Amino acid sequence: MSDYLNLIAGQWQPSVTGRTFENRNPADEGDLVGTFPQSSWAAMPAPKRGDVLFKAANLLEARADAIAREMTREEGKTLPEARGEVGRTVNILRYYGGEGARLFGRVIPSERDRVFMHTLRSPLGVVGAITPWNFPIAIPAWKSCPALISGNAVVLKPSELAPLCATRLAEILVEAGLPAGVLNVVHGSGEAGGAIVAHEHVRAISFTGSEATGGKVAEACGRRKVRVQLEMGGKNPTIVLADADLDEAAGIVLNAAFGSTGQRCTATSRAIVERSVVEAFSEKLVAKARAMKVGPGLDAGIDVGPSINAAHADRVVTEVAAAASAGATVLAGGTRLTEGVLGKGHFVAPTVLGNVTPQMTIAQEEVFGPVAAVMPADDFEHALALANDVRFGLSATICTRSLSHALQFAQRIEAGLVMVNLPSAGVEYQVAFGGSKASSLGPREQGPEAIDFYTTLKTVYMKY
Ligand code: NDP
């Protein structure tokens, strides 16, 4: 009698569960032919799956600086921003590691005598994650971790523009004990993403990227009737009321518009300011924007790194020029920066536009660059109407000292993330993330809600 193993990627390996099953001779029940591994990531107790994520968090924490440097080299964001993203990914791994002990079902009272009803969560099977370049380790993590802790296998397709960080995440998860075949990373272009979306064994797709690609992914998932979750663009407003602390408000817009070179789906791209303070606010914002230091993200003291590539930087300045032709005033920036070392990369000056009106393309379409458009508003009602007058609805901020306006804003703004006296970007991993209208489709990512997307609910009825 022998103990047999699994053959995975050319290597004989034991079961991740440590459990086995017996193979017996049908002519003689006493003849045990061998024992074979009972293999399944899904069968491993969820808290044990969590141990793998906890170990991965420790490994990532130990390598944080090296991976942050690699991120700055491949994506361009400044080193402090890259360190922040790696730190956040450590938190994501720990948070979903802990969720392994919290995959709760519910006990529901039956209307019948001696009937016990409860719900159980089951994994979906194989799920696909398709990710963009702007958060090259955090987005792969916040999709993979809830999928893995729920017991799914994952096929991850990172962006061709920043594939290294996702590879580092996968290496760390494997080193932490993730069994072979549970996380798969497929590099390549949209063609590779399309193949994952179309594959008959993939039961759900979580996608972050552009609206155009998101539409294609949703159509393909609809045809196959599999779950889909889309996170796409934004045209996020920051409303500044006349009662706000204007210096603080300018700092909030500065952070949200120019942080990560404006390449965040939650970036503020419209500052909607009460007319009585629009001049004073714009002066402060312009002064702060001009003082920002633009340069290579690995250099000390840099505030704003490059755009992801030349085509993207060109697109940003073209859109600024189009806004100027349509009547907007360029108050700061508006051009590529090419002097000295900047000539080697794709740098755009932090740009502030004044007198932007809602009909202009710059007020409606996402730029994904360091551009803030200042739009004057008559009062709170007018500002709210302008804020909602776009097809997107991801994140929105109000700067005010009025509790009444803050609460009305929270109720009436068409956005999934609502901030009061805080930047529109800068979200936390332990709460739901997502938007409304054309920004998002499907259940929320992050926080405990993320588990809903990656599990199916069974309702169990038992007569006793
Ligand atoms: P894309 O939509 O071009 O790409 C996103 C991912 O989808 C990439 O991995 C890409 O591969 C892949 N892909 C491309 N075509 C297909 C296809 N037909 N089927 C399946 N997958 C495909 O977006 P970007 O990566 O260029 O990201 C920038 C955009 O993403 C911005 O416009 C921004 O608004 C949005 N975004 C939204 C976020 C949110 O949370 N709401 C967060 C970050 C970005 P490859 O790139 O290798 O070709």
Structure tokens at 302: 């840099």
Radius of gyration, CA atoms only, the chain:
25
Are 223 and 251 in a shared domain? no
Q: Return d(Cα 356, Cα 369) in angstroms, integer.
A: 17
pLDDT at res. 40? 85
> Sheet holding 455-463: strands in order across?
107-109, 115-123, 455-463
The reply to whether 141 falls in a domain is yes
Tell me which residue has tokens 């799956």. Answer: 49
Q: How far apart are CA 353 and CA 356, in angstroms?
A: 7
Instruction: Provide the token pair at 54.
Output: 């906890």
Secondary structure element (H or E) that encloses residue 30, with its range: strand 28-37
Q: 222 and 268: one domain?
A: no
Annotated catalytic, 231? yes
Q: 375 in a domain, yes or no?
A: yes
Is the minimum distance from the CB of 197 to ligand 1 under 6 angstroms? Answer: yes
Backbone angles phi, psi at 44, to 5 degrees: -65, 135
Amino acid at residue number 322? A
**Whether 416 contacts 393, CB under 8 Å:** yes
**Do 299 and 259 share a structural domain?**
yes
CATH number of the domain at 142, please: 3.40.605.10
Q: How do beta strands 126-130 and 153-157 pair?
A: parallel
In the three-class reduction of DSSP (H, G, I as helix; E, B as strand; rest coil), residue 194 is classed as: helix
- Counting the structural domains of the chain, the total is 3
Residues 22 and 162 in one domain: no
Q: Are 153 and 106 in contact (CB under 8 A)?
A: no
The token pair at 356 is 């932007």
Query: Does 200 share its domain with 250?
Result: no
Query: 294 and 223 in one domain?
Result: no
Q: What gap in Å lies between CA 239 and CA 275, rounded to an integer?
A: 11
pLDDT at 20: 77
Q: Is 263 part of any domain?
A: yes
Residue 365 a catalytic site member: no
Spatial CA neighbour of 305 closest among 270, 278, 344 = 344
Q: Do 407 and 282 fall within a single domain?
A: yes
What size, in residues, is the chain? 464
Residue 434 located in a structural domain: no
Any alpha helices (H) in 326-443, and if so which ranges?
380-388, 403-412
266 burial type by CB count under 10 A (0-12 exposed, 13-18 middle, 19+ buried): buried
CA of 60 from ligand 1 middle (Å) equals 25
| Start-to-end CA span in the chain (Å) | 41
433 domain residue, yes or no: no
Q: What averages of pLDDT result for each successive group of 10 residues across the chain (464 residues)?
A: 74 72 86 80 95 98 98 98 98 98 97 98 97 98 98 97 97 95 94 96 97 97 98 97 98 98 98 98 98 98 98 98 98 98 98 98 98 98 98 98 98 98 96 98 97 97 98
Distance 148 CA to ligand 1 centre (A): 22
pLDDT score recorded for residue 17: 65
In a domain, 359, yes or no: yes
Which residue puts its alpha carbon closest to atom 31 of ligand 1? 210
Q: Do residues 61 and 171 both lie within one domain? A: yes
Are 208 and 130 in contact by the 8 Å Cβ rule? The answer is yes
**Gap from CA of 419 to ligand 1 centroid (Å):** 25
So what's the pLDDT on residue 5?
80
Q: Is 265 in the pocket of ligand 1 (CB under 6 A)?
A: yes
Indicate whether 86 and 167 sit together in one domain. Answer: yes
Task: Give the number of other CB atoms < 10 A from CB of residue 19.
Answer: 13
213 lines ligand 1 (CB under 6 A): yes
**Domain annotation covers residue 156:** yes
Together in a domain, 304 and 190: no
CATH classification of the domain holding 349: 3.40.309.10
Instruction: Please name the residue whose Cα sits nearest to atom 44 of ligand 1.
Output: 209
Based on the domain organization, do 244 and 212 belong to the same domain?
no
- Which residue type is seen at 104? F
**Is the minimum distance from the CB of 159 to ligand 1 under 6 angstroms?**
yes
Structural domain including 223 reads: 46-232+440-463
In short, whether 132's Cβ falls inside 6 Å of ligand 1 is yes
Say if residue 215 is in the same domain as residue 326. Answer: no
- 231, 274, 319, 445: which one is catalytic? 231
Q: What's phi and psi for 331, nearest 5 deg?
A: -90, -25
| In a domain? residue 435 | no
